[in-house]
Amino acid sequence: MSVGTQIEWTDATWNPVTGCTKVTRGCDFCYAERFSERFRGVPDHPFEKGFDLTLKPDRLKQPLSWRQPKRIFVNSMSDLFHKEIPISFIDSVFETMEAANWHTFQVLTKRSSLLVRYLRERYAGRENAPPHIWLGVSVEDQKNAVRIKHLRAAKASVKFVSFEPLLGPVGRIDLTGIHWAIVGGESGPKARPMEEQWAIEIRDQCIEAKTAFFFKQWGGIRPKSGGRRLQKKEWNQYPRIRRTATENLIAAE
């Protein structure tokens, strides 16, 4: 796990798996791949195997040693629902998240159908995943907005969508049951530009649906090249969770 991170919407990262494979055009210039491949072949380096899918069982229990509550982005360098990750390993990740309930875990995937299937089986006979485990999908354009439909059907208490990198308009989207949306432009030497109107359309739909909205970045050569203001304002909303013995209330701040 990383104590510090430059990802604006989280406090720490935890990577029990590293490496992945591309599924859609949002993966074309993956920052995690670009970073990992710099160290391919370096003996004893955490990324000695570059961006090859690699399980890290020695990291499975790391969050249990973090006593200060944190927002933790799970698998910032991979995708927990990659089809080559054994279900037993995913189970171990969830067991740690369930046990470390003083943290908030943020899990993102592009493999939304596998997410739905896994949650249905893991929480069979129970209402949903615990509310401190936030489940989300990445959506880069209208073609892949079907992942939001999958997410709405998932047995998750807190659901979020990361529109990053936002590569095109997503059109009208159903945010029913979606608690948080993140928007960000692509960064890196081959970054594709994001148009302001694409972000505004998502923000306005979030306001209408009372979904918390977080504008992460415009992107560019570096993540912070274009700043973080959308129409002269920073948008830093998070879902607000109140847990009691009898209720779970989830709302935008």
User: Beta-carbon neighbour count of residue 77 at 10 Å?
Assistant: 23
Q: Is residue 22 in some structural domain?
A: yes
Q: Is residue 93 in some structural domain?
A: yes
Q: Is residue 4 in some structural domain?
A: no
> What are the residues whose beta carbons fall under 8 Å from the beta carbon of 195, sequence distance 6 or more?
169
pLDDT tens track for 107-129: 999 999 999 999 999 999 998 99
Tokens 């200060």 belong to: 68
Maximum alpha-carbon separation in the chain: 53
CATH number for the domain harbouring residue 114: 3.20.20
Q: How far apart are CA 196 and CA 181, in angstroms?
A: 16
> What are the residues whose beta carbons fall under 8 Å from the beta carbon of 167, sequence distance 6 or more?
25, 26, 140, 141, 186, 192, 194
pLDDT tens track for 66-85: 999 999 999 999 999 999 99
Q: Is residue 102 in some structural domain?
A: yes
- Say what the pTM is: 0.94
Q: Is residue 1 in some structural domain?
A: no
Q: Is residue 137 in some structural domain?
A: yes
Q: Which domain holds residue 68?
A: 12-252
pLDDT tens track for 43-57: 999 999 999 999 999
Q: Is residue 160 in some structural domain?
A: yes
Statement: residue 132 has pLDDT above 50: yes
Q: How does residue 247 score in pLDDT terms, banded at 50, 70 and 90?
A: very low
pLDDT of residue 4: 65
From 40-44, 227-231, 249-253, the region with the lowest mean pLDDT: 249-253
Angle between helices 87-99 and 112-122 (to 10 degrees): 70
> What are the residues whose beta carbons fall under 8 Å from the beta carbon of 112, sequence distance 6 or more?
137, 146, 147, 150, 151, 154
User: Per the structure, how many domains does the chain have?
Assistant: 1
Q: Is residue 7 in some structural domain?
A: no
